[in-house]
């Protein structure tokens, strides 16, 4: 343990730091004085509690029964106790401070140490009247405590994230220590590790931390002098840990055992999969290994980890886009393509659409590689080329079963494209994804793949281009006056200020946290059908969709996000780079 206990504070200092004596104050009185609740309401929740035989604090009961909100309780306490009512977002967390309080105590009392100055430890707590909690912290840290009240859910989340990271870093240094001994003895252990070895602890806590911080994958890469752990959060890869390279083989062996891969085979790429329960979360991980000059590189990818998403009730779309999409989905048959580069969230959107379609009481079949998430009431097929099950062969057998709706995970080649189009013409609704930068390019790509123009014109129902845009981290947002060259990118908008992230602990110093999807939705109308079958120049189609079809482009949506201060100008530049 590295938290060093300082000398005991003189009693007088402790008294000074705690600005009220919580034992003498009762929450009921505070809330009554503030005019938020009546004595009758307090008595009524106590009655309910007595009947239920549970034991909860008054605040929790009142909030649970919708008599008062947590923010009102906290605002009242803040005024009465003369302490600050804060959000975990107000200040970055310093892990060296956090770990002065053991996790068990932090979780039990719902509190977290966030800063320290002049020997006074600043602690965010959900219940500032919890005298015993505050006493516990004083006893453990031997420091004067300054408390601030903060919402319970925010503290619990901060506890879970911060301690996961602390444990990982500790496990890494533990593992590095064993590595030194192992190397000294000229011995590297690749046997199946017992469950309490530093390697297992390290892997478990890395997976836990990565999952709780919303990462999509974990990369373990060997170099000549070290093994680097990196995690991808919101599409960005960030360095996470560096370990002694002598540990690399043990780590890889452990992962391969978990994923059912061959630990002796180190020269060929392998794929594997495992599910695990870590503390309170279930994880589903796809593993791939790839030989490199310094050893095997491992990527562990969390399946079904879409992360929290804006507009999740509307396929992640803005209301007007969603309405347009629902209209396209009402066609009895036809092909709908979702397009965008890798990592643009196409699969997530397709899954949301399939879940909605599954409610229609129709027969739905999918062909995917890989099946990322199991969907209720949908027949999902994973292709397996080694066993002869390709997109093409799987589709042919599915069509013999005549489903109403077919999802083709990805249209990669001419054969798949052709089957999709033909299935649509024979009365099926087909959804698929395609690698193109914008909606109109999908038409060009399909013709290039060899689809006959009249077949395409008659089967295409709509194209949706999508991008995921990183949101500026709310914890470290910085406003600035944009220079002229940035304003020029914003069309007719002339905002006085724009935002960017400075980088902080909450966003792994990237300045971004969370993502939002933007779309351009192109329903295929008779005019566009005519242009496809007559092979009109692409420029004419672009001109038409901009001027008459009134399609809102990805660029327009992104400009709006920049002006609304949700994302940075860099994200807009990235799109421009992709499109041109």
Tell which positions 339-378 bind Zn ion, by CB under 5 A: none
Cβ 513 to Zn ion shortest distance, Å: 6
With contacts defined by CB under 5 A, name the span among 227-235, 413-421, 440-448, 502-510 that binds Zn ion: 502-510
Cis peptide before 370 (omega within 30 of 0): yes
Cis peptide before 552 (omega within 30 of 0): no
Using CB under 5 A as the binding rule, whether residue 255 contacts Zn ion is answered as: no
| Rounded-to-integer distance, Cα 108 and Cα 128, Å | 14
Cβ 470 to Zn ion shortest distance, Å: 11
With contacts defined by CB under 5 A, name the span among 318-326, 442-450, 504-512, 514-522 that binds Zn ion: 504-512
**What is the signed CA dihedral for 34, 35, 38, 42, rounded to 10 degrees?**
-30
Helix axes 391-400, 414-425, angle to 10 degrees: 20
Residue of 456, 507, 516, 562 interacting with Zn ion (CB under 5 A): 507
With contacts defined by CB under 5 A, name the span among 202-210, 485-493, 499-507, 548-556 that binds Zn ion: 499-507
Cβ 569 to Zn ion shortest distance, Å: 17
DSSP sequence for 477-526: EEEEPPPHHHHGGGTT---S-EEEE---GGGTTSSEEEEEEEEEEEE--H
- The binding track of 456-475 with respect to Zn ion, each residue x by CB under 5 A or -, is -----------------x-x
| Rounded-to-integer distance, Cα 235 and Cα 42, Å | 49
Residue of 287, 430, 504, 522 interacting with Zn ion (CB under 5 A): 504
With contacts defined by CB under 5 A, name the span among 5-13, 138-146, 283-291, 496-504 that binds Zn ion: 496-504
**Where do we find the tokens 């196409």?**
346
Question: Is the Cβ–Cβ distance between 337 and 441 less than 8 Å?
Answer: no
Number of DSSP helices (H) and strands (E) in the chain, helices first: 22, 19
Query: Which lies closer to Zn ion via its Cβ, residue 83 or residue 504?
Result: 504
Using CB under 5 A as the binding rule, whether residue 476 contacts Zn ion is answered as: yes
- Residues in the chain, overall count: 580
Question: Is the Cβ–Cβ distance between 19 and 83 less than 8 Å?
Answer: yes
537 Cβ neighbours under 8 A, 6+ residues apart: none
> What is the dihedral sign for C-alpha 53, 55, 59, 63?
negative
Query: Which lies closer to Zn ion via its Cβ, residue 213 or residue 557?
Result: 213
Nearest residue to Zn ion, by Cβ distance, number only: 473
Question: Is the Cβ–Cβ distance between 496 and 217 less than 8 Å?
Answer: no
Using CB under 5 A as the binding rule, whether residue 93 contacts Zn ion is answered as: no
Query: Which lies closer to Zn ion via its Cβ, residue 166 or residue 476?
Result: 476
Query: Which lies closer to Zn ion via its Cβ, residue 86 or residue 440?
Result: 86
Query: Which lies closer to Zn ion via its Cβ, residue 20 or residue 238?
Result: 238
Cβ 504 to Zn ion shortest distance, Å: 4
Cβ 491 to Zn ion shortest distance, Å: 28
Query: Which lies closer to Zn ion via its Cβ, residue 141 or residue 162?
Result: 162
Residue 22 DSSP symbol: G
Using CB under 5 A as the binding rule, whether residue 233 contacts Zn ion is answered as: no
Q: How far is CA 317 from CA 314, 545, 550, 573, in A?
A: 5, 20, 17, 21
Using CB under 5 A as the binding rule, whether residue 512 contacts Zn ion is answered as: no
Residue 308 DSSP symbol: S
Cβ 462 to Zn ion shortest distance, Å: 37
Query: Which lies closer to Zn ion via its Cβ, residue 88 or residue 125?
Result: 88
Cβ 516 to Zn ion shortest distance, Å: 16
Cβ 474 to Zn ion shortest distance, Å: 8
> What is the dihedral sign for C-alpha 352, 356, 382, 433?
negative
Query: Which lies closer to Zn ion via its Cβ, residue 254 or residue 500?
Result: 500
Query: Which lies closer to Zn ion via its Cβ, residue 380 or residue 477?
Result: 477
User: If binding means CB under 5 A, how many residues of this protein chain bind Zn ion?
Assistant: 6
Q: Token pair of 43, please?
A: 């008595």
Rule CB under 5 A: which residues touch Zn ion? 473, 475-476, 504, 506-507
């Amino acid at each position: 343990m590295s938290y060093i206990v300082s000398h005991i504070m003189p009693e007088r200092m402790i008294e000074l730091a705690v600005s009220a004596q919580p034992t003498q104050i009762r929450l009921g009185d505070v809330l009554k004085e503030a005019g938020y609740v009546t004595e009758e309401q307090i008595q009524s929740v106590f009655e309910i509690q007595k009947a239920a035989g549970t034991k909860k604090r008054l605040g929790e009961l009142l909030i649970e029964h919708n008599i008062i909100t947590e923010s009102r309780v906290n605002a009242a306490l803040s005024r009465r106790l003369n302490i600050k009512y804060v959000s975990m977002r107000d200040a970055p967390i310093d892990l060296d401070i956090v770990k002065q309080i053991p996790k068990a105590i932090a979780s039990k009392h719902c509190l977290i140490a966030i800063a320290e100055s002049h020997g006074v430890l600043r602690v965010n707590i959900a219940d500032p009247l919890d005298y015993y909690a505050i006493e516990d912290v004083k006893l453990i840290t031997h420091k004067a405590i300054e408390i601030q009240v903060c919402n319970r859910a925010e503290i619990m989340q901060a506890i879970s994230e911060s301690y996961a990271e602390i444990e990982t870093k500790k496990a890494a240094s533990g593992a590095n220590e064993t590595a030194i001994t192992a190397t000294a003895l000229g011995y590297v252990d690749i046997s199946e590790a017992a469950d309490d070895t530093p390697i297992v602890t390290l892997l478990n806590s890395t997976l836990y931390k990565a999952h709780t911080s919303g990462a999509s994958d974990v990369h373990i890469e060997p170099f000549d002098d070290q093994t680097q752990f990196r995690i991808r959060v919101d599409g960005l890869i960030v360095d996470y840990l560096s370990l002694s390279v002598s540990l690399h083989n043990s780590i890889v062996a452990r992962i391969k055992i978990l994923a059912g891969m061959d630990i002796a085979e180190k020269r060929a790429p392998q794929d594997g999969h495992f599910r695990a329960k870590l503390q309170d979360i279930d994880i589903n991980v796809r593993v791939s290994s790839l030989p490199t000059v310094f050893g095997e590189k491992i990527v562990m990818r969390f399946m079904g980890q879409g992360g929290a998403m804006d507009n999740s009730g509307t396929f992640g779309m803005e209301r007007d886009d969603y309405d347009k999409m629902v209209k396209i989905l009402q066609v009895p048959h036809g092909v709908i393509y979702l397009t965008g580069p890798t990592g643009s969230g196409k699969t997530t959107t397709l899954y949301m659409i399939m879940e909605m379609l599954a409610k229609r009481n129709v027969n739905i079949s999918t062909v995917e590689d890989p099946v990322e998430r199991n969907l209720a009431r949908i027949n999902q097929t994973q292709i397996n080329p080694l066993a002869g099950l390709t997109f093409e062969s799987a589709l042919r057998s599915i069509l013999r079963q005549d489903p109403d709706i077919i999802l083709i995970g990805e249209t990669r080649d001419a054969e798949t494209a052709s089957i999709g189009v033909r299935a649509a013409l024979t009365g099926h609704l087909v959804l698929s994804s395609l690698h193109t930068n914008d909606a109109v390019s999908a038409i060009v790509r399909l013709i290039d793949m060899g689809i006959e123009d009249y077949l395409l014109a008659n089967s295409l129902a709509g194209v949706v281009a999508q991008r995921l845009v990183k949101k500026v981290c709310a914890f470290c947002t910085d406003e600035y006056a944009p220079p002229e060259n940035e304003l020029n990118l914003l069309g007719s908008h002339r905002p006085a200020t724009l935002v960017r992230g400075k980088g902080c602990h909450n966003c792994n110093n990237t300045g971004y946290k969370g993502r939002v999807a933007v779309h351009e939705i192109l329903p295929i109308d008779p005019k566009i059908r005519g242009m496809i079958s007559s092979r009109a120049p692409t420029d004419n189609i672009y001109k038409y969709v901009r001027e008459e079809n009134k399609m809102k482009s990805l660029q327009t949506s992104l400009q709006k996000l920049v002006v609304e201060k949700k994302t940075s100008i860099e994200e807009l530049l990235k799109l421009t780079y992709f499109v041109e």
